[in-house]
Amino acid sequence: MPNTINHPHQEVLESPLFVVGPLRSGSTLLRLLLDHHSEVNLFGEFEGAVCEARGNEWPPLSSYHRFVRTDRQTGALNLNVDPALPYEPLVRDFLRQIHLRNPRSIVGASVHSRIDLLPRIWPKARFINLVRDPRDVARSCIGMGWAGNTYEGAYFWEKVERHRKILNAQVPESQRIDIRYEDLVCESEATLRKICDFLGIGYQTQMLQIERDTSYGFPSARYANQWKRKMADRDVRWVELRLGKQIDELGYTRVVDTQPPLTLSERLYIKVQNRLFKAKFHIRRWGLGLWLQQLLARRFRLSAWSDRIREKTNVIDTRYLK
C-alpha cells in the first residue's frame, strides 16, 4: 500500500520535527541551519498539512485535492496524491514520500498555520517553538505585502501564539523546546548546540555554513530587535496596543505598559490603509489585469477560473522568493 511505512523508517516518520512559529520569525533561517546537519532533512514549509482545516475539522477530500494541485508551496513538493486515502493517512503519506527521497534520521519542516492540529496527525512529533519579538514580526509582514500597517501585521503573530498555547497543552515538555530568534542570531552556535542536544544528535560546524549553497548568510545579531531602530513610535504603539500582556508573557518588554485605546479615526485609517496597501502591492507585482481577474474569480466563486489565475500568480510570486 502507498501509505505503508517500511520498518527501517517507522520511527523517523512517527516522530517528525516541526519548526513552528509566526511567519517572519526566522523559521526559514533555522530550518536551513538544521538541514545542513548530516542527520537532518528539513525539507521546507509544510503548511499544506494543516492549513486547510475548517475550525477543528479537516477539509473535504475533494477540496483538499484541489488545494494540493493549485497551492504554490504544496505543489512545489511534487507529491503523488492517492485518491483512496482519507485525510490524515494522505498527509502522512506525503511526509513518507518526501522522506524517502532523502532518508535521514530526522525528517521535518516548518509550519506557521494551525500548528495546534499537528499532534492529531503525528502524536509523537517533536517541536521547536520559535519565538520572535512581535514588533519585528509585524514590521516584517508589511514588507511582504501581507499587511499595510503594524496593527494588522501583529495579527500574524497573535494567531500563531494562540495556537501555540493549544499545541503546548497537548505535547509533553520532552517533545518540545523553546527557542528565541534573538538568541539564534546573537548566539548561534550555543543555540544550535542546545537544539542538537534536544534532538539527540551531535552538533556539526557545517550547520553554520548555509551561505555556501543558499541565499541566506551567516546569522547576524544586526537582525535582532530591528524595531528599536526602524519603527516609529506610532507603529510600536499599535503592536503593543493589540497584543498587550501577550508580549510580556513571552519575555519581551513593552515600551509602555498601558497604551491609550485606538481612536475612531485610527480604526478607520488602519482598516482602509491596510486594504489599499495590499491592493497596490499585488497590482505592482501581478499587474492590474491579473489582480482584477483574481478579485472577480474569488468574489463570484469561479473555481476553475480561480485555479488558472492562481497558477499565473504562483509563477510570479516564486520569482520573489529568497
Domain-located, residue 101: yes
Q: What is the average pLDDT across 257-264?
A: 90
**Domain count for the chain:** 2
Q: Are 210 and 218 in contact (CB under 8 A)?
A: yes
In this structure, is residue 32 part of a structural domain? yes
Give the residue among 150, 2, 171, 26 at the shortest CA–CA distance from 83.
2
Residue 76 and residue 206 share a domain: yes
2: pLDDT strictly greater than 80: no
**Residue 20 falls inside a structural domain:** yes
Do 118 and 167 meet the contact criterion of CB atoms below 8 Å apart?
yes
* Listed residues 175, 192, 223: the one ending a domain: 223
pTM recorded for the entire structure: 0.92
Q: What is the DSSP letter of 222?
A: G
The three three-digit cell numbers of residue 19, written as one number: 519548526
- Dist CA 170 CA 37 (whole Å): 28
Q: Please, which residues bridge with residue 108 across strands? A: 17, 42
pLDDT (average), residues 47-67: 96
Arithmetic mean of pLDDT over the chain: 94
Do 214 and 85 fall within a single domain?
yes
Question: 268 lies in which domain range?
Answer: 263-317
Segment 115-148, tens digit of pLDDT: 999 999 999 999 999 999 999 999 999 999 999 9
Cα angle 38-44-49, degrees, rounded to a multiple of 5: 125
Contact (CB, 8 A) for 33 and 207: yes
From 170, 200, 223, give the residue that closes a domain.
223
Residue 281 lies in a domain: yes
CA distance 16 to 34: 13
Phi, psi of 57 (to 5 degrees): -110, 140
Q: Give the model's pLDDT for residue 7.
A: 55
Is 128 inside a domain boundary?
A: yes
Q: Which of 223, 249, 279 is the last residue of a domain?
A: 223
Is 80 domain-assigned?
yes
Q: For residue 320, name the pLDDT band (cuts at 50, 70, 90).
A: confident
CB 217, CB 211: distance < 8 Å: yes
Lowest mean pLDDT among 86-95, 153-162, 253-262, 265-274: 253-262
Task: Say what the pLDDT of residue 257 is.
Answer: 87
Residue 217 reports pLDDT greater than 70 = yes
How far, in Å, CA of 8 to CA of 314, rounded? 37
Residues 6+ apart with CB under 8 A from 151: 138, 238, 239, 241, 242, 262, 270
Judge whether residue 322 has pLDDT over 70. Answer: no
Q: Residue 36 belongs to a domain with what CATH number?
A: 3.40.50.300
Q: How far is residue 169's CA from residue 319's CA, in Å, rounded to a whole number?
A: 39
Q: CA quadruple 143, 147, 148, 152: dihedral positive or negative?
A: negative
pLDDT digits (tens, 9 = 90+) for 238-250: 999 999 999 999 9
Q: Does the pLDDT value for residue 3 go beyond 80? A: no
Whether residue 215 is predicted with pLDDT greater than 50 in this model: the reply is yes
Per the listing, cell 538541514 goes with 35
